[in-house]
Amino acid sequence: FRHLLGLEGMTPDQIEPLLDLAESYALLNRSRKVPRDVLRGRTLINLFFEDSTRTRTSFELAGKRLGADVINMSVAQSSVNKGETLLDTAATLNAMRTDLLVVRHAQSGAPALLARKVEASVVNAGDGLHEHPTQALLDALTIRRHLGTLGGLTVAICGDVAHSRVARSNIHLLTTMGSSVRLVGPPTLVPSGLGELGVDIHHRMEDGLKDADVVMMLRLQRERMSSGLVPSAREYFRFFGLDRRRLELARKNALVMHPGPMNRGVEIESSIADSDQSVIQEQVEMGVAVRMAVLDRLTRSRHTA
Ligand code: CP
């Protein structure tokens, strides 16, 4: 594949080998034996129009570990602030012979727009409410490592699904791989229209968590809500926070996941985030491995096309 813009429409035959490659990079990362020549001579630019800790850092690490020259473009100090458009910015980076462009943008579809205008391979690092494909891939790798499969599972995605590109990418991947997805949250954050994605919808945690294999918590994306609709943290936790009592409704040893950033005490009790059932730090670790696999595959595709 030339770009990675989303997981919608990807098949198990495309997803599994990518996860296999990521798994091999996870092992190489742990043994510190990553081959440094995979991306030698290639240039990767991180172009983030929205804040990020995990995604931007892990793409930078992934690129550097594989030998690429990596540039983090600081949008806050770029000519975007002087009125340069997204497409003119892309044309400028294109003229510099960039090989890989990793883009995060508040507008859904912005990476796809850029992909039509540049010669570089474009990776969607999160676009508006649309998709965050590498997050869902790293979530899938983490699940597969613990449960041995991505098929036949029940995954409860809980919280602010309405504003979550992470949830959308996970829904596409998990349903494609044969798992059942439940969306759990208040009707304002889990509207019934999401049922069109082939998922079950629950408005009570007690119903949505029952016998789940995986419990994936999402933060309230206050920055995407109009001020009158933001629930209070205390009230939200009371009805939709993950605590020990609610987690016990899921299967014994169900995985607790969170893409981060977490708001402890709002969507998840702090002790649950740090418990033996939590794989949140492993998700971060797999993020580097998945991004290495994606950069590797995209670069090889460019040179065999
Ligand atoms: N999960 C995720 O995308 O985190 P960042 O916003 O820190 O990149």
pLDDT digits (tens, 9 = 90+) for 34-78: 999 999 999 999 999 999 999 999 999 999 999 999 999 988 888
Residue 170 near ligand 1, beta carbon < 6 Å: no
Residue 46 near ligand 1, beta carbon < 6 Å: no
Half-sphere exposure of 267 (CA within 13 A, CB side): 25
Ligand 1 contacts CB of residue 287 (under 6 A): no
Query: In the chain, what percentage of residues exceed pLDDT 70?
Result: 98
Note the pLDDT of residue 53: 96
Task: Classify residue 63 by its DSSP letter.
Answer: H
Do residues 114 and 101 touch, judged by C-beta distance below 8 A? yes
**Atom number of ligand 1 nearest to Cα 53:** 7
Give me the mean pLDDT over the 161-168 stretch.
97
**pTM to 2 decimal places:** 0.96
Whether the CA torsion 214, 215, 219, 225 is positive or negative: it is: positive
pLDDT, tens only, 190-205:
999 999 999 999 999 9
Please write the tens of the pLDDT for every residue from 98-127.
Answer: 999 999 999 999 999 999 999 999 999 999
> Is 82 labelled as part of a ligand binding site?
yes
Which pLDDT does position 78 carry in this prediction? Answer: 84
Complex prediction ipTM = 0.98
Q: Mean pLDDT across the chain, nearest whole number?
A: 95
> Ligand 1 mean position to 260 CA, how many Å?
6
Q: How is residue 111 written in tokens?
A: 């990476």
The tokens 């009790």 sit on which residue? 269
Q: How confident is the model at residue 222 (pLDDT cuts 50, 70, 90)?
A: confident
Q: Is 223 in the pocket of ligand 1 (CB under 6 A)?
A: no
Nearest CA to ligand 1 atom 5: 52
How far is the centre of ligand 1, averaged over its atoms, from the C-alpha of 212 (Å)?
25
The per-residue b/e assignment along 227-244, b for 16 or more CB within 10 angstroms, e otherwise, is eeeebeeeebbeebbbee
